[in-house]
Structure formats: structure tokens, C-alpha cells
Amino acid sequence: MKKIIWSLVSILILTSLVLAGCTAPGEAPAAPQAPAGDGGELAVGIVLPTKDEPRWIQDETRFKDALSEAGYSVEILFSQGDPAKEKQNVETLISKGIKVLVICPHDGTAAAASAEAARAAGVKVVSYDRLILDTEAVDYYVTFDSVAVGAAQAQYLVDHATGSGHPLYLYAGASSDNNAFLFFEGAWNVLQPKIADGTFVIKNSAEAVALQDKATLTRDEMGKILGQVTTNWDFNVAKNLAEANLTAAAAEDKGEVFILAPNDGTARAIADAFAVDTAVTKYWVTGQDAEKASVQYIIDGKQSMTVLKDVRTLVSDAIKAAVAFLDGKVPEQTHTYNNNVVDVPAKPSAVVTVDATNVKEAIVDSGYYPASDFTGLK
């Protein structure tokens, strides 16, 4: 009996030693060990614009996947569409000792102050997807070819319009986002000759009509059009604007219509508004981002196309750029983008047009999303 009690006491003592980290009295406990294969902290902080749009959740997920595979851990913060919160996020990361900041600004100009604060602290600044404007303090720009995105959207509309006099409804992104101008520029390059030759007739922007004979628009001219057709990247703004446009339009401005919608979230909102108008017999609507909800809309015939911007590529380019800077090197450059102050080095990535005819191949067979995320896929 004594033996049994003694064994139990020994087990208890041993267990408590193990739980206490086996430290002798007065000795500091051992630091927790990183799990095997964990390369530990990468001196990089990531700031993304908002959790309210699936696009940026995609980026967060893809960053997490890529980083855990590479064995790095970094902090990802969201700014919720608020430049003040964004600045605070950057300051938090600087105070934690990051050496590289990867930031997708909510507002390109407002983010200049954050970029400058980072540079002043010796941090390299990588502008992610959206360009930070009006400052020298941007070291690199990781991006897709945004002019090509707009061109792909417009080309899709052109490719599906035979004959002439088709009603065209234009929508754009937020004026605070430099990409909104690049997308619109790319679309205008392709649409304008088809407006000039009568294939399309613009129905929802007097400013665009006033400029329709100009093959190339200045930024100010695009700004005037955006002022009338911006969605502000907001689903509700998009829905309300589409409804207002449909209310103002006469029956002859409807029938089979062509809609340039700037991204997937706004495309779904705009498509829903057009779908319930009984005078609209058919609509073609563009998008971008290959958000899951829009892939499903494409399968269901409710959205015509999206532009796949493979976020895995963008994330991998951002990580490569960060690692290059940490190693004292410079990332690969094929292009520059002027941000009103400097030409920022970049290596833009290609994009892919996706519609019902290639959705399975481009989205599922490519491994971008599993088939089980969708219904009705053929």
C-alpha cells in the first residue's frame, strides 16, 4: 500500500515538474519552442483595406496559406475603409519593429502619410494592388495589369454585341482608388471606338456622352465621368445608382443592355437591379476578382463574366519583394507606375477572362477553388 502511495506521489511530482517546464528553483522557464518548420517572425506587416469585401478576405486567406507553407508568421491588419485606422495600423506595425510594410491603401492619397511614417522609420514600403499616390515613400508596387482588366471587361461587351444602337450603362470604382481610373481607362480604350461607330449608346452619364468622341481621356476627364458613375466600391451605392439609372431610363433605353460593372461585388448588386426591371430583356454585365459569389452567379447565368486576378500570384510577388528587401536586394521590375511624384517599380501580373464557357477550367480545374464550393457546375 505504502509503495502504491509513494508511486502516486512520484507521478504527481513528475507531472508538476513537466508542467512547470522542469525548471529548478530560481531558474527562468524555458522560452516556448517554435513548432518544427516554423521559420518564425518575418519582419513584415500587412495592411489590407477592409473585411467587408470578399476580395480582401481572399487576399488574407491566400497570404495565410502562403506564409504558413513558407514557415513565416506575419501580422495582417484591416483598416475597414478608414484612413485614420489605416495610419494607426501602420504605426502599430512600425512600433513592433517591422522592416517591410505591405499595404493596400483604402485611399491612395491619404495613405501617403502612412508611407512616409514607415520610410522615416527605415521601413521599406510595398504598395499592394492599389498604388499609394503623391509621395516619394513607395519602394515597390505589387499589382495586376489593371488597364488590361478594364480592357478585358470592355472586350467582353464588344464581343457580344452585334448590330448597333445597344444601350450601354457605365459604372466605375471609387475615385480615391487609383485602380478605378486604370480600369476605366482600359475599358474606354476598347469601348470608345464602338461608341463612336454606333454599336453602343451611353445611357447613364451625360459627362461620358460629352466626351464620347475622344479616344483618350485625361485623368480630369475620367474624373468627371467617375463623378457620375462611381459605385465607391460599395454594393449599396451600386444598387441605388443602378436603380436610379433604370428609373430615369425610357423603355427604349432598355431591352438588351450592356453593363460595364467595375468588380464582382458591384456587378452582383447592379445585375440584381437590372434583373428585376421588366423592360430589360437581357443584360450582359462584367466584373472582376472571381469572388465565389460571382463565380456562382456566372454558373447560374446571372453575371456574364469576371476577370480572374489570381491572388496567389500577387501574394507570392509581395512575399518575394519583402524577402528581397530583407536581404538588401531589390525585387524584380518590368514596369513603372507614376504616382504623381515618382515612378514606382513594379512587375504587373496578367489576368484571365472567365465566363460560363471556361469557368470550370479557369476556376476549378486550375485549383483556384474546389468544385464543392459551387452548385450546378458542369
Sites of contact with ligand BGC (CB under 6 A): 53, 55, 129-130, 173, 177, 179, 233, 263, 288-289
Closer by beta carbon to ligand BGC, 108 or else 331: 108
Distance CA 322, CA 42 (A): 9
Buried b (16+ CB within 10 A) or exposed e, 81-103: bbbebbbebbeebbeeebebbbb
**DSSP string over 70-118:** HTEEEEEEE-TT-HHHHHHHHHHHHHTT-SEEEE--SSTTTTHHHHHHH
Closer by beta carbon to ligand BGC, 45 or else 348: 348
Closer by beta carbon to ligand BGC, 195 or else 351: 351
- The cell for 350 is 496578367
Closer by beta carbon to ligand BGC, 262 or else 331: 262
Contact (CB, 8 A) for 331 and 321? yes
Report the C-alpha dihedral over residues 248, 307, 366, 315, rounded to 10 degrees. Answer: -120
Distance CA 149, CA 170 (A): 15
Output the smallest distance, CB 262 to ligand BGC, in A: 7
Output the smallest distance, CB 307 to ligand BGC, in A: 9
Output the smallest distance, CB 38 to ligand BGC, in A: 31
Closer by beta carbon to ligand BGC, 99 or else 347: 347
Closer by beta carbon to ligand BGC, 130 or else 194: 130
Output the smallest distance, CB 130 to ligand BGC, in A: 5
Closer by beta carbon to ligand BGC, 177 or else 310: 177
Alpha helices in 197-218 (DSSP H): 206-210
Distance CA 71, CA 66 (A): 9
Q: Any residues with CB less than 8 A from the CB of 136 and at least 6 apart, and which?
A: 119, 341, 342
Closest residue to bound ligand BGC by CB: 263
Closest CA to 202 of 133, 247, 253, 151: 253
Output the smallest distance, CB 253 to ligand BGC, in A: 27
Output the smallest distance, CB 186 to ligand BGC, in A: 12
- The cell for 278 is 421588366
Output the smallest distance, CB 128 to ligand BGC, in A: 10
